[in-house]
Amino acid sequence: MAETVRIIGIDPGLRRCGWGIIESTGNRLGFVACGTITPATDAPLSERLVELHRGIAAVLDEHEPDEAAVEETFVSAGARSALQLGQARGVVLMTPALRGLPVGEYAANLIKKSVVGTGHAEKAQIQMMIKILLPTASFKGADAADALAIAVCHAHHRAIRQIRAIA
């Protein structure tokens, strides 16, 4: 009998940080929960980062995932935006790691390819496939759907790593 692993996917962001939790048992996936953490945009950066950490920590406390997955962010905006997003991403990587959770990192194109079948999928395609893969999923907005896609990608690649380890 295959073990059930609870995975949190996190789509890092300083304005909107999506999170999604699934359970993976063999090749079956199940929806657990999802949401978006929205730090106050008018607060100083340090307070926004603390709010992001507290929000993720609260989700980890409530849902007790076994593993975490985070999107590797691609930034084409200015240097200041890239630096702030990098700081938010550091908090997102650090928070589950502090609890001893293994944290996988995945490129956006790999996530899209794992979920939709093409690395250049649109947001609407990702949301549609998440509803197909996780029929009970209820999400508001692209950030939570993207986080669920990150968790699905992790589950898929986790299974591939296990198969290769056995072979």
Q: DSSP labels for 6-36? A: EEEEEE--SS-EEEEEEEEETTEEEEEEEEE
CA distance linking residue 103 with residue 101, whole number of Å:
6
11 is catalytic: yes
CA distances 125 to 113, 116, 138, 151, 163, Å, are 11, 7, 16, 16, 28
From 42, 61, 62, 71, the catalytic residue: 71
From 11, 51, 67, 146, the catalytic residue: 11
From 51, 67, 143, 146, the catalytic residue: 143
The total number of residues shown for the chain amounts to 167
SS3 119: coil
CB 26 within 8 A of CB 3: no
| Residues classed as catalytic | 11, 71, 143
